[in-house]
Amino acid sequence: MKFHNIPFKILLLQKEISMTNKIYYLASCSTCRKIIKSLPNSDRLKFHDIRENPITEQELEELHSLSGSYEALFSKKAQLYKSLDLKNTTLTEDDYKKYILEHYTFLSRPVILLNGEIFIGNAQPNILKLTKAMASV
């Protein structure tokens, strides 16, 4: 069976990938560990340690499609951001994408994909919304 010249199997696989409940985090990050520990049903997430397994361009594209921008996924709190003096540079969306792909520290953490929704970072309102959403997973 074909759909718009794409084999049906591939469509199912792509849908399965994007429907996976997943967390992008750093195992060495105490804030990430604390958030994971506080989440109900966190064992139902697929864990992706971005240091051990760097984010791919395809994964970043999926995050971008849900977040609407690379800047939303970019961490301006990263030590490397400060040491490269990027705050005094005008960054474009392409720049944000490039830096995230070059070094894991530029991805705001954690990033959670849950039932087609994205939760980025550790801001308290975001974590409260995520916790509520996780309760029903």
Parallel, antiparallel, or unpaired for β 22-25 and 46-49? parallel
Predicted local distance difference test score (pLDDT) of residue 86: 96
Predicted local distance difference test score (pLDDT) of residue 42: 94
Predicted local distance difference test score (pLDDT) of residue 55: 96
Residues 2-39: pLDDT tens digits?
A: 444 444 444 344 444 445 899 999 999 999 999 999 99
Task: State the pTM of this model.
Answer: 0.83
Predicted local distance difference test score (pLDDT) of residue 43: 93
Predicted local distance difference test score (pLDDT) of residue 119: 97
pLDDT band with cut points at 50, 70 and 90 for residue 53 = very high
**Mean of the pLDDT values across residues 84-103?**
97
- Side-chain-side CA neighbours of 108 within 13 Å: the count stands at 23
Predicted local distance difference test score (pLDDT) of residue 20: 84
What is the residue type of 92? T
Predicted local distance difference test score (pLDDT) of residue 5: 46
Predicted local distance difference test score (pLDDT) of residue 19: 59
3-state helix/strand/coil string of the chain: CEECCEEHHHHHHHHHHHCCCEEEECCCCHHHHHHHHHCCCHHHCEEEECCCCCCCHHHHHHHHHHHCCCHHHECCCCHHHHHCCHHHCCCCHHHHHHHHHHCHHHECCCEEEECCEEEECCCHHHHHHHHHHHCCC
* Spatial distance between the Cα atoms of 113 and 45, rounded to a whole number of angstroms: 9
- Side-chain-side CA neighbours of 116 within 13 Å: the count stands at 3
Residues 55-70: pLDDT tens digits?
A: 999 999 999 999 999 9
